[in-house]
């Protein structure tokens, strides 16, 4: 074979190999674009969340965690049940620096903090919202304890986060890896500061998001939130907000 022909063959093979190489998508929009599934009117939904209250740097002492606020909005607007993931041992009642160190230690050690059980019977639900603050660009490790304990395959999973700059922090990708046989629908990211100080804006964002997913928004009611827990107490833990790509403590 002539040298020119060999060079041409080499270039063609290189292009073929590059075109076949599998790459990981760089943005959450890629996952969302692949998922065109919407909820059905008959789908029964549950909102699962982990949240924290207490002292926060930018908004002061709060009595209800940011993620809890968003979770209860979703429940009220959709009629979904609520399930709060609560630590079995409350070791997160720390100031920001201590909490950041603990969260990083748990993440580096692939920690699996225990949470109060039992979890609900997931067989009765078609749709599961799953939300938490962003800690070190990821789900808090207690969420992975929940994921590993509970079988959600075949369901429609909808992530949401509260944060101080990390947006959804690839929660959708992580769910897709954990539950490959689930449909991962479009998630929502809410600034923790907005959850505390601009609930009208957050409510409007939640409405638009839910409608895009196919939910029919229920009229506002003054009744108590539907909860499958015996208590609606928020974890009395005390993070501090910091606008950085670390623990995202304002997204509690």
pLDDT recorded at residue 17: 31
Query: Is 95 a domain residue?
Result: yes
Within a domain: 181? yes
Give burial (CB, 10 Å; 0-12/13-18/19+) of 198.
Answer: middle
Q: What pLDDT score was predicted for residue 218?
A: 87
Instruction: Give the pLDDT confidence of 184-220 residue by residue, as tens digits.
Output: 999 999 999 999 999 999 999 999 999 999 999 988 7
Higher pLDDT, 43 or 234: 43
Higher-confidence residue of 51 and 220: namely 51
- Could you tell me the sign of the dihedral formed by the alpha carbons of 111, 116, 121, 126, in that order? negative
Number of domains in the chain: 1
Residues ≥6 apart with Cβ < 8 Å to 204: none
Whether the full predicted model's pTM is greater than 0.85, yes or no, is no
The C-alpha atoms of residue 165 and residue 150 are separated, in whole angstroms, by 29
In a domain, 190, yes or no: yes
130/245: higher pLDDT? 130
Q: What is the CATH number of the domain that holds 80?
A: 3.40.50.360
Does residue 126 have a cis peptide bond before it, meaning omega lies within 30 degrees of 0?
no
- R_g of the chain computed on alpha carbons: 21
Sign of CA pseudo-dihedral 113, 50, 170, 246: negative
What pLDDT sits at residue 14?
37
Query: Does a structural domain hold residue 12?
Result: no
Per-residue pLDDT tens digits for 116-159: 999 999 999 999 999 999 999 999 999 999 999 999 999 999 99
Q: Would you state the pLDDT for residue 241?
A: 40
SS3 content of the chain, % helix, strand, coil (to 5): 40, 15, 45
Would you say residue 226 lies in a domain? yes
Distance CA 199, CA 40 (A): 27
Residue 104, domain extent: 45-251
Burial bucket for residue 51 (CB in 10 Å: 0-12, 13-18, 19+): buried
Say what angle helices 96-108 and 141-149 make with each other, to 10 degrees. Answer: 40
In a domain, 34, yes or no: no
Q: What is the pLDDT of residues 57-66, one digit of tens each?
A: 566 677 898 9
Residue 103 forms part of a structural domain: yes
What is the pLDDT at residue 76? Answer: 97
Number of neighbouring beta carbons within 10 Å of residue 232: 13
Tens-place pLDDT, residues 74-128: 999 999 999 999 999 988 877 778 878 999 999 999 999 999 999 999 999 999 9
pLDDT of residue 59: 61
């Amino acid at each position: 074979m002539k040298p020119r022909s060999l060079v041409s063959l080499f270039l063609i093979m290189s292009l073929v190999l590059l075109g076949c190489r599998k790459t990981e998508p760089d943005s959450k929009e890629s996952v969302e674009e692949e998922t065109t599934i919407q909820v059905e009117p008959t789908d029964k939904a549950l909102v699962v969340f982990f949240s924290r209250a207490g002292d926060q740097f930018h908004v002061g002492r709060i009595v209800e965690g940011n993620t809890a606020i968003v979770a209860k909005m979703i429940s009220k607007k959709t009629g979904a049940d609520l399930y709060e993931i609560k630590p079995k041992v409350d070791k997160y009642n720390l100031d920001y620096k201590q909490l950041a160190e603990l969260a990083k230690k748990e993440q580096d050690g692939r920690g699996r903090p225990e949470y109060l059980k039992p979890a609900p019977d997931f067989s009765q639900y078609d749709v599961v919202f799953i939300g938490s603050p962003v800690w070190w660009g990821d789900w808090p490790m207690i969420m992975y304890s929940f994921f590993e304990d509970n079988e959600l395959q075949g369901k429609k999973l909808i992530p949401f986060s509260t944060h101080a700059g990390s947006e959804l922090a690839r929660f959708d990708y992580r769910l897709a890896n954990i539950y490959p046989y689930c449909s991962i629908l479009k998630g929502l990211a809410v600034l923790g500061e907005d959850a505390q100080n601009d609930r009208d804006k957050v409510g409007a964002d939640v409405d638009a998001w839910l409608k895009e997913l196919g939910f029919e928004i229920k009229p506002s009611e003054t009744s108590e939130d539907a909860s499958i827990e015996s208590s609606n107490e928020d974890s009395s833990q005390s993070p501090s907000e910091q606008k950085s790509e670390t623990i995202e403590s304002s997204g509690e």
